[in-house]
């Protein structure tokens, strides 16, 4: 039963490498709105389905200490609160992986902030860090992102394979 014991499976394949399979944020948003034909995935008994939860496949080796290549993962859309040290699904419109032609990735989120005179703050740097047995994977570093260029779409809840 949708959102009782199952959640939607999105066709998005997020890369655990650099940014993943090319797909526009509009397509992703439409899937989150569950328009069209939706495939539902039953969750393991210890997990309770919630609105905003979805399943997507993660491909690649850059997160292999936490997420096996090809695993299906449960995500929470539009995460609130601090993201530091959490595994997130990120989108960047101007970064594309040469191999996959991609704009999505799954990584560990870290950020540095600068406090401004008016009491507000802004990110000076966001680091999307791999967690892999392969030391050749390097963090993706984003500085001075323009509005709408970079966003965190979801956070990892659990690998469900």
pLDDT digits (tens, 9 = 90+) for 136-154: 999 989 888 777 778 888 9
pLDDT at 90 over 50: yes
The reply to whether the predicted model has a pTM over 0.75 is yes
pLDDT digits (tens, 9 = 90+) for 21-68: 444 444 544 555 554 567 889 999 899 999 889 999 888 898 999 999
The DSSP secondary-structure symbol of 159 reads: E
Identify how many contiguous H helices and E strands the chain contains and give both numbers.
1, 9
């Amino acid at each position: 039963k949708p959102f009782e014991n199952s959640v939607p499976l999105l066709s998005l394949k997020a890369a655990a490498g650099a940014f993943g399979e090319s797909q526009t944020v509009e397509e992703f948003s439409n899937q989150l709105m569950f328009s069209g034909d939706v495939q539902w995935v039953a969750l393991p008994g210890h997990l309770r389905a919630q609105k905003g939860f979805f399943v997507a496949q993660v491909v690649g080796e850059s997160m292999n200490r936490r997420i096996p290549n090809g695993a299906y993962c449960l995500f929470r859309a539009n995460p609130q609160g601090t993201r530091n040290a959490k595994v997130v699904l990120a989108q960047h419109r101007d970064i594309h992986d040469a191999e996959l032609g991609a704009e999505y990735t799954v990584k560990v989120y870290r950020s540095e902030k600068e406090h401004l005179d008016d009491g507000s703050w802004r990110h000076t740097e966001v680091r999307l860090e791999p967690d892999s047995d392969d030391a050749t994977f390097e963090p993706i570093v984003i500085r001075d992102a323009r509005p709408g260029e970079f966003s965190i779409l979801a956070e990892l809840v659990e690998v469900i394979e």
